[in-house]
Structure 1
C-alpha cells in the first residue's frame, strides 16, 4: 500500500520543518502501549518504570492506538520550530466538538469493545466536550511525566536533525531531502510516495508539507491530516537522527577533566547535543551563571559553537571537541552522528 503526496506549484516553497512537544508525547505513548514492538526504547522504558507504575491515562490510553490510525485532532500539526506544549494543547482544546465526536466515534468503531473498559468505551462516544477536556488533561500529564524530564536533550537533537535536513534540502532539493529521510519515503516524478501509510493520492493544493521529527518514532512514519477539505498542510512525522544519543551517557574523559577542570569538561561533554545554557545547567547540576562562564571559555578556544535560534542560543561541540572527547576511553560512546 502506498500513499502518494502530489506536489503542485508553490508546494515545494511551502515545505517547512516544525517541532511539536505533543507529537513527541503521543509518539512516546505508542511506545508505552506496545513496548515489545519498540525494543530500541528499552533504556527509556526501564528508566520510567516507577513513573508508569501509577500512571492512569484513562481515555487517552484508549484513544492512542497501539497501531494504525488514531483521532487526528489529538495530533495537531505544529505551526513552526518554536512550538511549546501549551501551544499544542491549546490547539487540541480548541477543536470543534463536532470534529471530536466524529473522530472518536470512528476510532471506537475500530476497537473491540470487549478489550476496553466499558466506561472508557462510553467516553469515546459520549459528550465530545467532556471527552476533549479529559483527553487534554491526560495529554498534559503524559507530557509532564514521560517527556518533560528529557525535553532539553530531546529538543537539542530535534534541532540538530532539522539543521541536517535543511542542508540536505538546500543541497539537493526535495529529492535530496527525501532520499535520506526514511526508507519508506520515495521521491518519484514530482511526488512523495509513502509506503505502508495507506493507499491513494493526496493533492497538496499549495498547502505544502510540514516535516516533524520525533524522538520516539523509530522505525515508523506518520502522516495527517490527509483529508481533502483540511486547510492545514499535512504533517509528516518521522524519526529524528541520532535518537540513540538520548540513552547514551555523555563521554567524559579523565584526561579532558584534568585539562579543562571537572565542571568545564562536564559541560563540554553535554554539548554533544545542541543545548541552551539553562538546559545544560539543569542536566549538569551547576548554576546557569557558572555554565555560562564555562561556555564562554570553551567557545573562545574553539571547542563549542553558539547559534541563535529565535530567542534561544544553542551550544554544540565543534569537530575539534568531538575528536578530543571520543576515543579517549574504551567505554566512551562515539561522538559522531548515529
Structure 2
C-alpha cells in the first residue's frame, strides 16, 4: 500500500490512466482490515489529529498486552508498505474474515519479496533480532503470524466500534455513489480529496512517488476510511498485477464517529428519553442490535421504538444484505437540529 508522502515535492504525482471499460468497473467497497491497519498507524502517530484521542484513551489499557511485534515491524509509519497486508476489498459487505482470507492466500514468493523490501528499509541496530529473523525467514510462517496478529488487532482496536463506523462508511458510499451517478468520474473526484484531480481521463494523485498506473480494464475500487484520515492510500500500483487498485480516502463526517450523540431536551419531552435516544443515535444508519448496545436498552425495546418512529416518518429502514439499517429522515434531522437555531 502506497501512502501519501509526508514530504511532498512539487510536481510529484501518481497518475491513474482510465481506458475503455474502466469507468464502468469503478466500484465501492469497505475493509475491516483496512481500518485495522490504519488504526495501527494512528497508534504509531497518536498526534495525527485530536479527534482520535477518545479512541486512544479507550484502547490504551489493552494495547500494552497485545502481541503485535511482527505486524508493527512490517507496517511502516508512512510511505510504502507490503501490499499483501492491505488487500483490495471486493464488496461493501466485506467481513474481516474475507480480508484475512485474502492475506492468507498470498503466494509465499510475494510475501518473501515484499517483506524483504520492508526489511531493507529498517535499521538493523534498532530491531530485535528474533523479529528481524521472523520478518526475513520462512514466508509461510511469517504470513501466518501476521494474519494472527491482524486478527488480534482487529478484535482489540476496531471491532468494538465497528457497527458505528460501518454506518458512517455506508453513508459515505451512498453519497459518493450519487455523485458518480449524477456527475460521472469528474463529479465524483471533484471533492474526494484535495490531492486527487481528474483531468483528461486520468486521475492525478499528488504527494505520491512519480509513476503511472494503467488500469487496463481493471477499474478502481474506492474504499472510504475512518482511521485513515486525512491521507490517501493506493495499492497495488504494479502495472503487471491483475488486481484492481484500491484508492483509500477519508470518509465524509469522520469527526462524527468520535463525537457523542447529544439529545435535544425538547425532543426528549416530546418522545420520551428512550425513544429520543434511539432517534438521536440513528444519525449513523444502524442495526437494531447496534442501537441497543449504544443506548443500553433491550433489542426488543429498541425494535418497538423504531416501529413507532418509522410510522411517524422519522426513521427509514434499508436492507443491507441480511441486515436492516435504520437511519434518520430529513424530517427527524430537522427536528433534532431545532436547538441550534
SS at match of 1:275: coil
* Higher relative contact order (CA closer than 8 Å, sequence separation 6+): 2
Q: After the TM superposition, which residues 41-52 of structure 1 pair with which residues of structure 2 at under 5 Å, given as runs?
A: 41-52=52-63
Question: How much does 1:329 deviate?
Answer: 7.3
Q: How many residues align?
A: 330
**Counterpart for residue 152 of structure 1:** 163
State the TM-score, normalized to the length of structure 2.
0.94
Question: Which blocks of at least 5 consecutive residues in structure 1 are unaligned?
Answer: 331-338
Q: After the TM superposition, which residues 172-187 of structure 1 pair with which residues of structure 2 at under 5 Å, given as runs?
A: 172-187=183-198
**Counterpart for residue 278 of structure 1:** 289
Question: How much does 1:253 deviate?
Answer: 2.1
2:313 aligned with 1:299? no
**Counterpart for residue 16 of structure 2:** 5
Question: How much does 1:82 deviate?
Answer: 0.4
Q: For 1:78-112, what per-residue CA distance to the aligned partner results, in whole angstroms no more than 9, with x for missing partners?
A: 01100000111111111111111110000111111
2:35 aligned with 1:24? yes
Runs of 4+ in 1 over 4 A off after TM superposition: none
Take 1:40 and 1:2, find their aligned partners in 2: how far apart are those partners? 29
Q: After the TM superposition, which residues 250-265 of structure 1 pair with which residues of structure 2 at under 5 Å, given as runs?
A: 250-265=261-276
2:139 aligned with 1:128? yes
Take 1:266 and 1:37, find their aligned partners in 2: how far apart are those partners? 31
Q: After the TM superposition, which residues 318-337 of structure 1 pair with which residues of structure 2 at under 5 Å, given as runs?
A: 318-328=329-339
Question: Which blocks of at least 5 consecutive residues in structure 2 are unaligned?
Answer: 1-11
Which stretch of the first structure deviates more once superposed, 278-287 or 104-113? 278-287
Question: How much does 1:126 deviate?
Answer: 0.5
**Counterpart for residue 335 of structure 1:** none
SS at match of 1:152: helix
SS at match of 1:313: strand
Question: How much does 1:327 deviate?
Answer: 4.7
Which stretch of the first structure deviates more once superposed, 70-79 or 284-293? 284-293
Which stretch of the first structure deviates more once superposed, 132-141 or 273-282? 273-282
Judge conservation of contact 2:51–2:258 (CA < 8 Å) in 1: no
Take 1:274 and 1:325, find their aligned partners in 2: how far apart are those partners? 15
Judge conservation of contact 1:306–1:314 (CA < 8 Å) in 2: yes
